[in-house]
Amino acid sequence: MIGRPDDMMNASEISMNQKRPKYIPALNRSWLTPLYDPALRYLMREDGFKRRLLDQANLQAGERVLDLGCGTGTLTVMAQRRQPGAEIIGLDGDQQVLEIARRKAAKVGIPMIRWDKGFADQLPYADAHFDKVLSSMMLHHLTLREKSKAFQEVLRVLKPGGSFHIVDFGRPHDRLMRFISGYMSRLERTAENFQGKIPGLLVAAGFSQVEETGFMRSVFGPLSFYGGFRQ
């Protein structure tokens, strides 16, 4: 049996009796998970927005980086390829997508990535453990309460001076994106995203220098890039 990593909290340290809202897998249905990668790759220009997020994060050798809600591991693998000297950890609450991520990393010869199962609002890591945290297209799966708690947890696990880098659905900047976001608001948990509330939630959680660093269109609605720091 593989031992528990030193930086992982014991399960008894986390209250498992607390009721959790229904978990939303990729594309809303577990049976659609195999279609997740093709949907992002061909419909949402995945390489483009994930490269842009990594440009923003500017990963450095020696840093410990968490890909929060890593899904099938595309961003995680991209991050490790871009900065081989960083320690990259992918975390997701869906065991099915973690297995896909492990196979994806092994296929391209990047076995050093660690894949952990856990939830954004109950991160299984010690305080001040990461230099940077990344999040790509995960926040819209969370309720408002879960978003707030997740941001508090990210702040907790970041080192002083550490940074949080996000790409997700955001406020629309033109008429077409407003139309699409109006429809998409009926799906998943996107309301706070499209209303532009993410920066305010980050500030409320304790982040400093919070800003929307950019935005782009997608067929499913507007995407925004955000950044913030732990003082």
Which CATH number does the domain 26-229 belong to among 3.40.50.150, 3.30.390.50, 3.10.450.50, 3.30.1050.10? Answer: 3.40.50.150
Give the contacts of 165 (CB within 8 A, at least 6 positions apart). 53, 56, 57, 132, 133, 134, 135, 225, 226, 227
- Burial (CB count within 10 angstroms: exposed 0-12, middle 13-18, buried 19+), residue 85: exposed
Q: What is the pTM of this model?
A: 0.81
Lowest-pLDDT range, 19-28, 149-158, 222-231?
A: 19-28
What digits encode the pLDDT tens for the residues 191-205? 899 999 999 999 999
Residue 53 · residue 134 · CB < 8 Å: yes
15 has pLDDT over 50 = no
161 has pLDDT over 50 = yes
Place of tokens 């919070």: 210
